[in-house]
Amino acid sequence: MIAVLSLALADRSVRLIGLSAAVVAFALFATAGQMVAWADGRLALLVTPDRLVVFVVLAALAGLNGTLQGYALRLRLGRGGQSAGVTGIILAFVGASCCTPLLWPAVLSLLGVSGVALLGINAALHRWFWIPVSLAGLALLVSTWRTARAIVTPCPLTVRAAAEAEQVAL
Amino acid sequence: MESKTKLRRPSQRQRPVSRRMSRVEIAGLIGAVIVSVGVGFAFLRHRSVTPSPAIGNFQRVADPAVTPGQPVPVFFLSALYCPFCGAERWALVDALGRFGTWSNLNPSQSTAGVDGIAAVPTYDFVHAHYTSHYVAFTPRDVADAQGNPLEPLQLGEQSLVNRFNPDGGIPFLLIDGAFAQLSSGYSPGLLAGKSFAQVQGEVTSHTADGQAIQHEADVITALICFADGRQPQNVCGTSTVQALVAGLH
């Protein structure tokens, strides 16, 4: 994993992708969790150590994941990890949400969820905050691991490709 | 010769190469759809629920029923863990205190540390009582400091939430069934980490942070005055409130 990461980080554009992913993810979580909010023309900063640590860890995982995904894209590898990464980000976003969630209530309304039901979900998510956040971390780790594996796994040689290569050699 | 011509037919030469979507593309597509749908619906709901701005952060969501002599319904939806709710309670206590009497009103605070929310000193509405000839106040704290269910909503209150607060956000303040505010009227960051007595002192000594609370209290006062035909005169007749009420016409 470290070898793959150092290989990926050697590329400047991939480093930029990873850094951007981490910064954007942190901004997303901090806003969703209303750690940073805009009220009456003022910026509200409601920072507490535990929530800050959770957001930093998730953002770091998103950055690590983004770095490897970026490198895999550069190598034109489309195998494994992307869907787990997206799932992780969505779960983290949902788990981080606080009092007036931004996006997902509107998405849930597609399923016909009422305001009262969403209110209950908001409170329940606050109560079980650690479950979606832990699942998000797990999904991001799985995604990172699968992408790293995809990078180090040699390209499979298909029968057709082998035949073509043989023809060229002849 | 004939076979050569067949081989050079444009339909065969220009046939697009079929390609399956990669997982990156599928994941990106799903993400884009979720975000687009969410933003679109949030926008539509925002428009349908909040047709026009009123004063402060309040929106006029229906035509106000100006009924002099009748108590103005004030509905406040919140939770004990929520720092924005904690901030709004200061302004509510101040504003409603001008129209009636509070009893058993004790200090409280939003959850600190345990659930990762900064502590905001506030009042406890669960055990408080409020009496007034001018205001019919209904506070509902739907969850406790840990997010456990606390006060269930009555049927009428549920329909208010479904109609005017379809995203289920808190704090939600509805005055006269016509003026709604989602989230607090000022930043709870002004109160975070302070003690109850400190904030009380800031309100009475009119510091900058205290003035933010006072301003929100004035806005709430003005909305109640507008709805009840500007009664009582000693509350609704002040220059600040009159100026705010004038902004509602």
Closest in A43, A86, A123 to B147, CB measured = A123
Residue B47's pLDDT is 47
Question: What is the C-alpha to C-alpha distance for residues A51 and A70, in angstroms, rounded to an integer?
Answer: 28
Same domain assignment for residues B59 and B136: yes
What integer best gives the mean pLDDT of chain B?
A: 83
Q: Helix or strand or coil: residue B26? A: helix
Check CB contact under 8 Å for A50 and B42.
no
Residue A40's pLDDT is 63
pLDDT of B3 over the 70 cut: no
Place of tokens 């060229």: A168
Range of the domain at B164: 54-246
- Residue B207 resides in a domain: yes
Residue A105: name the closest of A95, A115, A96, A92 by CA.
A115
Count: domains in chain B? 2
pLDDT of B187 over the 60 cut: yes
Least confident of A5-9, B49-53, B99-103: B49-53
Same domain assignment for residues B90 and B196: yes
- Residue B6 resides in a domain: no
Q: Closest chain A residue to B163 measured between Cα atoms?
A: A115
Check CB contact under 8 Å for A37 and B187.
yes
Same domain assignment for residues B237 and B151: yes
Same domain assignment for residues B111 and B89: yes
Residue A62: name the closest of A35, A96, A36 by CA.
A96
Question: What is the C-alpha to C-alpha distance for residues A106 and A104, in angstroms, rounded to an integer?
Answer: 5
Identify whether the C-beta of residue A92 lies closer than 8 Å to the C-beta of residue A27: no
Check CB contact under 8 Å for B113 and A54.
no
Check CB contact under 8 Å for B168 and A118.
yes
Average confidence (pLDDT) over B52-73:
86
Average confidence (pLDDT) over B110-126:
73
Same domain assignment for residues B42 and B97: no
Same domain assignment for residues B213 and B110: yes
Half-sphere exposure of B85 (CA within 13 A, CB side): 31
- Residue B228 resides in a domain: yes
The residue among A31, A40, A147 with the most chain B CBs within 10 A of its CB, best to mutate, is A40
Which residues pair with residue B60 across a beta bridge? B52, B179
- Residue B62 resides in a domain: yes
Please provide the distance, in angstroms rounded to a whole number, between the alpha carbons at the two ends of chain B.
87
Query: How far B92 CA sits from the closest chain A CA (Å)?
Result: 16
Q: Does residue B37 belong to the interface with chain A, where contact is any CB pair within 8 Å?
A: yes
Same domain assignment for residues B163 and B199: yes
**pLDDT tier at B94, thresholds 50, 70, 90:** very high
Residue B13's pLDDT is 46
Query: How far B55 CA sits from the closest chain A CA (Å)?
Result: 12
Same domain assignment for residues B46 and B63: no
Question: In which element (H, E) is residue A140 found?
Answer: helix A130-152
CA B20, A161, A148 angle in degrees (round to 5)?
Answer: 60
Task: Quote the strand ranges of chain A, DSSP E.
Answer: 36-39, 42-45
pLDDT of B198 over the 70 cut: yes
Same domain assignment for residues B127 and B223: yes
Residue B181's pLDDT is 94
- Residue B18 resides in a domain: no
Same domain assignment for residues B61 and B170: yes
Q: Does residue B191 belong to the interface with chain A, where contact is any CB pair within 8 Å?
A: no
Task: Report mean pLDDT in 10-residue bins for chain A, 170 residues.
Answer: 80 89 91 76 74 90 90 72 79 79 75 87 84 91 88 68 71
Question: In which element (H, E) is residue B103 found?
Answer: strand B100-103
| pLDDT tens string B10-22 | 444 444 444 566 6
Closest in A34, A39, A119 to B168, CB measured = A119
- Residue B94 resides in a domain: yes
Question: What are the structure tokens assigned to A92, written together?
Answer: 């983290």
Predicted structure pTM score: 0.77
CA A53, A56, A61 angle in degrees (round to 5)?
Answer: 125
Question: In which element (H, E) is residue B130 found?
Answer: strand B129-132
pLDDT of B4 over the 60 cut: no
pLDDT of B31 over the 70 cut: yes
Instruction: Tell whether the torsion through CA atoms of B160, B164, B167 and B168 is positive or negative.
Output: negative
Same domain assignment for residues B91 and B177: yes
| pLDDT tens string B63-84 | 888 777 789 999 999 999 888 8
* Complex confidence, ipTM: 0.71
Crossing angle of helices A49-74 and A2-9, rounded to 10°: 70
- Residue B12 resides in a domain: no
Same domain assignment for residues B40 and B95: no
Place of tokens 């065969």: B12
